Amino acid sequence: MGSDNVFVSMQNVTKQYGNLYALHNVSLNIKEGEVFGYIGPNGAGKTTTMKILVGLISDFHGDIIIGNYKMPAQKNEIHKLLGYLPQNVAFQEWRTVRDSLKIFGKLSGLNDQEIEKRISEVLELLDLTAVCDKKISKLSGGMTQKVGLAQALLHEPKLLVLDEPLNGLDPLSRQKFKEIVKKLSSKGTTILFSSHILSDVQDVADVIGILNHGKLLQFGSLNQLKQGLSTHERVEVLLSAPSDRWQELGAIEGIQSIEQPSSDKIILTLRAEADSDYAINCIGKSVVELGMSIRGISLLTPSIDEIYLSYIQGDQTR
């Protein structure tokens, strides 16, 4: 979880390729120790943002401060704090995993002793110990991705910028990755990552940014993103036996509409101004009065996928 110190600050960052705005006036702050999940459709500008943050793209407009350093002017200072996993990670294929990591360790300024120690630690952490003497060319796609992660973690950076780190990882590896992210964040590492797997973003991100066509549509916690949506709340009633009186629930105060997607399920959509606790109470009472046999009543909260689609599909800025 984050502290109150802003560690990454982007203000009005714009990047153009000819007439195309890959990023348009993007501003966001990420606090120290916070996990930031960056989501958006293909071509939204996520990789461009990350390349700017790590100093691979310098011709942009706007201001970036990382730690107390300015990007790109103090790039060398920032590089000492930074671990980066590119979207399409590439290594020299003829080297072994261990040798590849050694080279990165040296580039990050670690001495030989530290390199050996850290290589063992990260290989263990990412379950790569068994393949440490294999050539990169002999690894599977997911294993290569993990070597990329190992490389980013090697010098214990204060800031991790990970472009689709979960790409190609199996479910157990994804779970482990999320545990690693949470642990590092609890020790104060600031982590930015992009992903198309929204449930993973929901699981680990303290703050989420939704980018579309180079514009940041929303930035905040999942709850804040939910609150920004003007959707109506919905209540689901599950039945243990079908009832032919379900439509009578539509008469309850605060209900806008009612549907029966299957014989054992009724969905009630509340009016925008309705109080959901009060409505659930009324629904419970009516269900009993109507002699319906129920298995459960619950408030349906929008999933991260629904929230995402709602923002992206509702974006009228283009």
Ligand X SMILES: Nc1ncnc2c1ncn2[C@@H]1O[C@H](COP(=O)(O)OP(=O)(O)OP(=O)(O)O)[C@@H](O)[C@H]1O
Task: Kindly state whether residue 48 participates in binding ligand X, applying the rule CB under 6 A.
Answer: yes
CB of 8 vs ligand X, minimal distance in Å: 17
CB of 86 to Mg ion, least distance (A): 9
* Cα→Cα distances 287→250, 265, 297, 301, Å: 11, 13, 10, 21
Q: How far is CA 72 from CA 56, 150, 156, in A?
A: 9, 25, 22
Residues 19-38 that bind ligand X (CB under 6 A): 20, 22
Pick the closer one to ligand X by CB: 20 or 288.
20
Q: Contact between 87 and Mg ion (CB under 5 A)?
A: yes
Q: Which does 2 bind (CB under 5 to 8 A by kind): Mg ion, ligand X, none?
A: none
Q: Per-residue contact track with Mg ion, 47 to 86, x per CB under 5 A?
A: x---------------------------------------
User: How many whole angstroms from its chain centre is CA 227?
Assistant: 18
Q: What is the DSSP string of 276-290?
A: HHHHHHHHHHHHHHT
- Number of C-beta neighbours around residue 48 at 10 A: 22
Q: Among all chains, which residue has been given the structure tokens 């449930």?
A: 199
**Could you give the CA distance from residue 22 to residue 215 in angstroms, rounded to a whole number?**
9
Beta bridge partners of 262: 265
Of 53 and 149, the one with the shorter C-beta distance to ligand X is 53
The listed partner (ligand X, Mg ion, none) that binds 17, CB under 5 to 8 Å by sort, is ligand X
Buried b or exposed e, range 169-192, using 16+ CB within 10 angstroms:
beeebbebbbebbeebbeeebbbb
Instruction: Establish if 266 lies at the interface with ligand X (CB under 6 A).
Output: no
DSSP-based three-state secondary structure for 43: coil
Which of 10, 39, 46, 235 forms a contact with ligand X (CB under 6 A)? Answer: 46
Q: Which stretch binds Mg ion (CB under 5 A): 11-19, 41-49, 140-148, 303-311?
A: 41-49
Binding test (CB under 6 A) with ligand X, winner from 33, 45, 165, 254: 45
Query: Is residue 222 close enough to count as binding ligand X by CB under 6 A?
Result: no
Q: How far is CA 293 from CA 59, 286, 297, 299, in A?
A: 65, 11, 11, 18
* Segment 77 to 136, residues that bind ligand X, using CB under 6 A: 87
Binding of residue 39 to ligand X (CB under 6 A): no
Q: Does 47 bind ligand X (CB under 6 A)?
A: yes
Q: How far is the CB of 1 from ligand X (least distance, A)?
A: 27
Q: What does 40 interact with, of ligand X, Mg ion, none (CB < 5 to 8 A by kind)? A: ligand X
Question: Could you tell me which residues are beta bridge partners of residue 166?
Answer: none
Q: Which of 192, 86, 78, 183 is nearest to 126 (CA)?
A: 183
Residues that bind Mg ion (CB under 5 A): 46-47, 87
Return residues touching ligand X (CB under 6 A).
17, 20, 22, 40, 42-48, 87
